[in-house]
Amino acid sequence: MLMRWKFFGICWGLATLMVPAWAEGTLFKVPIREGVTHTLFWEAAPKAKATVLLFPGGAGGFGKVEDGRATGGNFLVRSAPYFIAHGYNVAIFGRPSDMELGWTERTGAAHMTDIAKVLELVKRQSDLPVWVVGTSRGTVSATAMAVHVKEPVIAGLVLTSSIVRRSTPGAVPAQNLQAIELPVLVYHHARDGCKHCQASDTPAILQGLTRAPVKKLMVVDGGSNPVGDECAAQHWHGFIGMEQEAIGQITAWIQAPKP
**pTM recorded for the entire structure:** 0.91
Quick check: is 67 in a domain? yes
Tell me, yes or no, whether 2 lies in a domain. Answer: no
Domain membership of residue 3 (yes or no) is: no
Does the pLDDT value for residue 30 go beyond 50? Answer: yes
DSSP-derived letter for residue 161 is S
What is the mean pLDDT of the segment spanning 156-176?
Answer: 98
Counting the structural domains of the chain, the total is 1
Q: Is 135 exposed, middle or buried (0-12, 13-18, 19+ CB in 10 A)?
A: buried
With bands split at pLDDT 50, 70 and 90, how would you rate the model's confidence at 186?
Answer: very high
pLDDT of residue 22: 37
Q: Kindly report, residue by residue over 4-29, the tens digit of the pLDDT.
A: 233 332 333 445 444 333 348 999 99
Write out the residue range of the structural domain in which residue 142 sits.
15-255
The answer to whether 60 and 93 have CB atoms below 8 angstroms apart is yes
Give the three-state DSSP class for 256: coil
Residue 5 maps to a domain: no
76 inside domain: yes
Query: Is residue 24 situated within a structural domain?
Result: yes
CA distance 83 to 61: 18
Q: Over 70: is that where the pLDDT of 188 sits?
A: yes
Determine the Cα–Cα distance for residues 214 and 217; give it in Å rounded to an integer: 11
Tens of pLDDT, residues 104-147: 999 999 999 999 999 999 999 999 999 999 999 999 999 999 99
* pLDDT at site 15: 52
Kindly state whether residue 222 falls inside one of the protein's structural domains: yes
Residue 210 lies in a domain: yes
**What CATH number is given to the structural domain containing 49?**
3.40.50.1820
**What pLDDT is stored for residue 4 in this prediction?**
29
- What average pLDDT does the segment 59-67 reach? 92
